[in-house]
Structure 1
């Protein structure tokens, strides 16, 4: 039995398979949320946001998305990246009560968290993770084992939480990072993500041996699957980041109206 989704090299089957490591991770995440929010009861909206983020993670990591993305289709692997790094983190952060964040912000890790989530540091760290985790040698080296696949998923989640923290979290307070600068921050990220998109979409040969040598799923060739992965990164990632920018613009407009 596999405890985490990883490349297996066997023909794909639509028969359900259990991945207890994924269930354990989701359970521990829920327990951590309960402990973190103890003494500062989350609102219904906050709880719903965190639950939605947890559900997104579960879908991305468990069967069939996790299994397909871990060793069969680069395009599904890219869907995993978008769900884990760009969609789940802002929902998880938005589900944390402000009182709990302020209490945690007064702890010993507060200076490190404040530095790590500085906008420029967070942006550069996230983009470094994006490029590194889409590098052929890294992907092929990690996807061959369950521990490596887990490490790749956690790198995406950690990078996504760091990237979204200055945009979504009110702690620490950043007076020099108002709505307009946050929107520019997200737009800059869409530009920086163009590099891996270009390589994936316009490469003449498949980059990843994991997916080139994987048992076929459907009629897609390895090259077509890789080009589809690049388009998913460009269109799907852009849609998430531009939608977030639109939400920020609306909040900016509403705050200005309330102030006048």
Structure 2
């Protein structure tokens, strides 16, 4: 039974295929969210968070299901790169923002989870995990042997998602008691993560031979050669990923500016009387 997207080996066609594992994951996350949200106090501020969480689930579904799922798992490394960006850069901030603070707090008040979260949400730990996952899951040995199987593809997708959640926790700072970084700290954290992704992106962009056997030997699913597809993957990771990070850093900068400006104005005016 095919429950998760993996390399199929045969020629690509646009015949729809069901991947019930993806549906089950999305349904479980949606059901758990609704159940937990119903248990929140009536005064809990949920605002538009439900829309953000729903958007995160929709993007997760689109990235993991047909057609992106099988295309990225065994046909086009450029789609694989797009999946990485969606699952590590787009889905996590939407899901995190969609969780009301009261809901997060109710989970992390439990002693074991609280201690584990304290460790995993430290900036250096999150930085290390995010970048180790990035590099490890783009090694040829992993892509050609792990990502091609259903369980391996599922594990890689969940590693991207989990590492992305730790990464974006630093940026969003959803709970004050977990000592979120200042705006300048978040901006530096974001920009520091621009450089390491350059390494796999550069290999993909400038290699004059296919790095991954699974994509080299796969029947062509587009008009691109294996090398051209690989170059597109590298450019996607570098340019699209970089623009996403720089865009987020710009938003944080203007938020920081708005919070600092009133304080500077009050200091300049000084007390009256």
Pair in the same fold by TM > 0.5? yes
CA distance in 2, matches of 1:119, 1:48: 28
Residues 3 and 22, structure 1, Cα contact 8 Å, conserved in 2 = yes
Q: Within 5 A, what are the aligned runs for 1:235-246?
A: 235-246=239-250
* Map of 1:39 onto structure 2: 40
* Map of 1:25 onto structure 2: 25
Deviation at 1:51, TM superposition (A): 0.9
What SS is found at the alignment partner of 2:208? coil
What SS is found at the alignment partner of 1:204? coil
Deviation at 1:258, TM superposition (A): 4.9
Deviation at 1:104, TM superposition (A): 2.2
* Map of 1:10 onto structure 2: 10
Residues 140 and 208, structure 1, Cα contact 8 Å, conserved in 2 = yes
Larger deviation, residues 146-155 vs 237-246: 237-246
CA distance in 1, matches of 2:14, 2:116: 45
Aligned partner of 1:99 among 83, 99, 102: 102
Deviation by residue 1:214-248 (Cα, 9 ceiling, x = unmatched):
11112111111111100000011111111111221
Q: Within 5 A, what are the aligned runs for 1:41-190?
A: 43-108=46-111, 109-171=113-175, 173=177, 175=179, 177-190=181-194
Deviation by residue 1:49-89 (Cα, 9 ceiling, x = unmatched):
11111111111001111111111000001000000011110
Deviation at 1:172, TM superposition (A): 5.2
* Map of 2:203 onto structure 1: 199
Aligned-pair Cα RMSD in Å: 1.5
Q: Measured at CA, do residues 258 and 28 of structure 1 come closer, stay the same or move farther in structure 2, by a change above 3 Å? A: farther
Deviation at 1:199, TM superposition (A): 1.0
Residues 132 and 138, structure 1, Cα contact 8 Å, conserved in 2 = yes
What SS is found at the alignment partner of 1:191? coil
Larger deviation, residues 171-180 vs 88-97: 171-180
* Map of 1:220 onto structure 2: 224
Deviation at 1:179, TM superposition (A): 0.3
Deviation at 1:16, TM superposition (A): 1.1
Deviation at 1:144, TM superposition (A): 2.4
Residues 197 and 231, structure 1, Cα contact 8 Å, conserved in 2 = yes
Residues 105 and 172, structure 1, Cα contact 8 Å, conserved in 2 = no
Q: Measured at CA, do residues 176 and 28 of structure 1 come closer, stay the same or move farther in structure 2, by a change above 3 Å? A: closer
The structure with more radius of gyration: 2
CA distance in 2, matches of 1:115, 1:224: 41
What SS is found at the alignment partner of 2:40? coil
Deviation by residue 1:18-66 (Cα, 9 ceiling, x = unmatched):
1111000100111222233321456241111111111111110011111
CA distance in 1, matches of 2:102, 2:210: 49
CA distance in 2, matches of 1:155, 1:175: 25
TM-score w.r.t. structure 1 length? Answer: 0.95
Q: Which aligned segments of 4 or more residues in structure 1 are displaced greater than 4 angstroms?
A: none
* Map of 2:269 onto structure 1: none
CA distance in 2, matches of 1:145, 1:172: 41
TM-score w.r.t. structure 2 length? Answer: 0.91
